[in-house]
Amino acid sequence: MTDKAEAPRILQLSDYKWFRARKLESAPADQAELIVRRLGLQDYEPIWKSMRYRAEHPPKNNTDEIWLLSHKPVYTQGQAGKPEHIVKPGKIAVVQIDRGGQVTYHGPGQLVVYLLLDVRQRKLSVRDLVELIERTITETLDRLEIPGKTRARAPGIYVDDAKIAALGLRIKNGCSYHGLSLNVDMDLSPFANINPCGFKGLEVTQIADFVEQKEHLMQSVSNILLDRLLQNLGYEIQTHRKLKSD
């Protein structure tokens, strides 16, 4: 695979619902516009190629985007990932990608949020963005009365000793892509076939194990997390706005 990405021909963003976030009154006048898209259940590679292409060809209209979705079953291996951490992938595809970190698993019932931000214009360092993502996740879990916490030298969010959320980023041309994954209500068994994020024996957990709600749990968690993320980025909470079609 070459470093130069071809324009993606599969994912058509115009097929999906979106809304434009409103800036907080206290936000800087030059703060970027922000589009939020809900993309449903997606194959991994078309999404990855689409967000990579966007970072390689930054939009000139000062507009950032957030994509919310879930993936069909896939293992993704970070650019410095070690093959020994993929113990027994079985029939699930392994995709070598360009984010940081080691191998992880994505599947239905997991909330994935990709942050396509002009971090240069926003004056966000990688550390700033990582801390913003981790804060967003812990605030989301706090709303659900789940005690999430960070760990030194182990990015992500943990409940007791089990990982509930992972994150990985790539910056290109001053633009971020990739983002976070939060286990909501999913089959966790594929994690047993890898060393999650490069840690042998690391346990994983999910929100469904801590709450009584099961019906529409993904929608509820998605709305809470999006509210927290919008506010942390300097936009009004507005998850109940009517979504638009292009």
Active site positions, annotated:
197
Radius of gyration of the chain measured on its C-alpha atoms: 17
The answer to whether residues 49 and 79 touch, using CB atoms and an 8 Å cutoff, is no
DSSP assignment of 115-174: EE-BHHHHT--HHHHHHHHHHHHHHHHHHTT--EE--TTS-SEEETTEEEEEEEEEEETT
Asked if 8 and 46 touch (Cβ cutoff 8 Å), the reply is: yes
Contact of 176 with 125, CB cutoff 8 Å = no
- For residue 210, what are its two tokens? 């801590």
Non-local CB neighbours of 128 within 8 Å, separated by 6+ positions = none
